[in-house]
């Protein structure tokens, strides 16, 4: 366990370095001269002259060799300075920070909702394998995984906000406003988690130690919950990283529809205007978050699953 942790912690900075290099490369692969973009945004009435562009290149530090620029960008990013948006000229780090909480709230709510539904349904479905509950749950999971969130979101708004007036249609600020976007976002991961838990539950129920437990005379209920549940939960935890990536991706669309002032909206706007510093900062930020959460999930998994504690991590 200790060795594993140490190995992970040692590779972490390497991965972070790689992530920053990848993001940096992305920005520099993009067509267009940032110096010219900034000048045009500042004064659209006048075409920037060659001299102005050169001066701006120096001001933005674009005249330095790429490796120097990269080192500078990384060192500034470490100090919390991720540059400024070409369009609004606001600091990127500040924009990311102010939009983090709404996105975190939304994704956490969606994840919680997905787990709350998927775990009991998945277990029930596995225990009543082949029964009507199982059939319905599997069908629901199939449907849930195939419904596009962007179409679902509008259905939810029309039904619950416009027709029934139970919930607000959109916006950010109150608890009621979280419900619809969180549901729209959670449906697909919910379906996935449900299938995952059902499958691993089925697998566990067929394993030797469960049979042994049964033979010992414990009630089936207890067996299922003491032994199977624990093992069934493991893949769910293991999938947290994937689900996080999924939720963050989905949030991009759901936030746009529900005018949720989160990172997704920021990213879509930046991608549409090719506001590279924001795109770059956002991608780096998300990658770091996903990486850290994955690490946390892995560690948690190892704590929860004694079988993994001593296994060598081959991949």
Partner 1 sequence: MPNILSKSLRIALPLGLGLMFLLAVACGSPAANSETAPPAAGSAPEATAPAAAIPQQAVTTAIPVQRVESSSPTQQPAEPPAAAVRDRPTLKAGVIWLDSPLDPVEGGYVATQSAMSETLFRLSGTTLSPEPWLATEATQVAPLVWRIGIREGVKFHNGNVMDAQAVKASLERAIRLSPAAGDTLTVDTITVEDAQTITITTTVPQPTLPGLLILPALAITDAAAAYTAGEGNFIVAGALTGPYIPTEYTPKKHLNSVANDDYWGGTPPLAGIEHVAIPDTNSRELALQAGDIDVAVNVSPAGAQAINAHQGTHTETSGIGTSLVLWWVNFERGILADPLVRRAVAHAIDRESIAGLVAPPGSGSFAELLLPEELVACPGVNAPGFDPDAARNLLAQAGYTDSDGDGILDKEGQPLEIVIGGYPERFQLPIMAETAQAMLADVGIKVEVLITEWSVVKEPAWDLFGWYNTVVQGGGDPVFNISKFAGLRGDASGSGTNNYGHYDASRLVDIITPSTSVADLGGRKEIACEALAVVTEETAFLPVAHVNMVYGVSDRVTDFEAHPTSHYFFNHRVGLSE
Partner 2 sequence: MAFGAQRSGGRVPVTSVAGGSRSRLRWIALLREPGTALGLFLVVSLLLAGVLAPWLPLDDPTEIDLPDRLLPPSTEHILGTDHLGRDTFSRVIHGARMTLLAAAVTLALSMTIALTVGMLSGYHGGWLDSALMGVVDLLLAFPSLILALAVAGALGPGLFNVLLAAGAVWWVGHARIIRGVTLGARQMEYVTAARGAGAGNLRIILRHIAPNILGPIIVIASLDVGWIILGIAGLSFLGLGAQPPTPEWGAMLNDARPHLQTAPRLLLLPGAAIFLAVLGFNLLGDGLRDLLDPRTVRPGGSPALL
| Least separation in angstroms between CB 161 and partner 1 | 4
| Least separation in angstroms between CB 121 and partner 2 | 14
| Least separation in angstroms between CB 203 and partner 1 | 18
DSSP the chain: -HHHHHHHHHHHHHHHHHHHHHHHHHHHHSSS-HHHHHHHHH-TTSPPPHHHHHHHHHHTTTTS-HHHHHHHHHHHHHTT---B-TTT--BHHHHHHHHHHHHHHHHHHHHHHHHHHHHHHHHHHHHTTTSHHHHHHHHHHHHHHHS-HHHHHHHHIIIIIIIS--S-SS-SSSTHHHHHHHHHHHHHHHHHHHHHHHHHHHHHHTSHHHHHHHHTT--HHHHIIIIIHHHHHHHHHHTHHHHHHHHHHHHHHHHHHTT--SHHHHHHHHHHHT-HHHHHHHHHHHHHHHHHHHHHHHHHHHHH-HHHHSS----
Stretch that binds partner 1, among 11-19, 139-147, 159-167, 205-213 (CB under 8 A): 159-167
| Least separation in angstroms between CB 219 and partner 2 | 27
Out of 14, 306, 307, 310, which residue is the one contacting partner 1 (CB under 8 A)?
306
Cα 178 from Cα 169, distance rounded (Å): 10
Q: Does 282 bind partner 2 (CB under 8 A)?
A: yes
Nearer to partner 2, 15 or 55 (CB): 15
Q: Does 203 bind partner 2 (CB under 8 A)?
A: yes
Tell me the site size for partner 1, rule CB under 8 A. 73
Instruction: Name residues contacting partner 2, limited to 209-248 (CB under 8 A).
Output: 234-235, 238-242, 244-246, 248
- Among partner 1, partner 2, none, the one that 253 touches (CB under a kind-dependent 5 to 8 A) is partner 2
- Among partner 1, partner 2, none, the one that 107 touches (CB under a kind-dependent 5 to 8 A) is partner 1
| Least separation in angstroms between CB 192 and partner 2 | 6
Q: Does 308 bind partner 2 (CB under 8 A)?
A: yes
Q: Does 159 bind partner 1 (CB under 8 A)?
A: no
Cα 309 from Cα 304, distance rounded (Å): 9
Nearer to partner 2, 213 or 236 (CB): 236
User: Quick count: other Cβ atoms within 10 Å of Cβ 138?
Assistant: 17
Q: Does 303 bind partner 1 (CB under 8 A)?
A: yes
- Among partner 2, partner 1, none, the one that 242 touches (CB under a kind-dependent 5 to 8 A) is partner 2
Stretch that binds partner 2, among 39-47, 53-61, 88-96, 274-282 (CB under 8 A): 274-282
Instruction: Name residues contacting partner 2, limited to 123-182 (CB under 8 A).
Output: 141-143, 145-151, 154, 158, 162
């Amino acid at each position: 366990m200790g060795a594993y942790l140490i190995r992970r912690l040692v590779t972490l900075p390497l991965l972070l370095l790689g992530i920053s290099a990848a993001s940096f490369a992305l920005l520099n692969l993009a067509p267009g001269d940032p110096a010219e973009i900034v000048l045009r945004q500042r004064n659209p009435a006048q075409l920037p002259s060659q001299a102005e562009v050169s001066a701006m290149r120096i001001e933005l530090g674009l005249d330095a060799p790429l490796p120097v620029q990269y080192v500078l960008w990384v060192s500034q990013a470490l100090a919390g300075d991720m540059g400024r948006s070409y369009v609004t000229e606001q600091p990127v780090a500040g924009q990311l920070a102010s939009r983090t909480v709404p996105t975190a709230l939304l994704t956490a709510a969606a994840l919680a909702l997905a787990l709350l539904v998927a775990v009991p349904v998945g277990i029930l479905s596995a225990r009543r394998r082949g029964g009507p509950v199982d059939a319905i749950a599997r069908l629901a999971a199939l449907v849930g995984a195939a419904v596009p969130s962007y179409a679902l979101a509008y259905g939810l708004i029309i039904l619950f906000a416009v027709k029934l007036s139970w919930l607000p249609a959109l916006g950010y600020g109150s608890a009621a406003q979280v419900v619809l976007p969180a549901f729209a976002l959670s449906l697909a991961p919910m379906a996935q988690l449900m299938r995952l838990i059902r499958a691993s539950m089925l697998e566990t129920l067929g394993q030797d130690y469960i049979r042994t437990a049964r033979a010992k005379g414990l009630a089936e209920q207890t067996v299922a919950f003491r032994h199977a549940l624990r093992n069934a939960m493991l893949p769910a935890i293991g999938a947290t990283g994937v689900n996080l990536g999924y939720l963050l991706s989905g949030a991009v669309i759901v936030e746009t529809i529900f005018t949720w002032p989160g990172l997704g909206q920021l990213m879509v706007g930046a991608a549409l205007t090719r506001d590279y510093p924001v795109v770059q900062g956002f991608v780096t930020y998300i990658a770091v978050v996903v990486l850290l959460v994955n690490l946390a999930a892995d560690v948690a998994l190892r704590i929860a699953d004694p079988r993994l504690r001593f296994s060598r991590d081959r991949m």
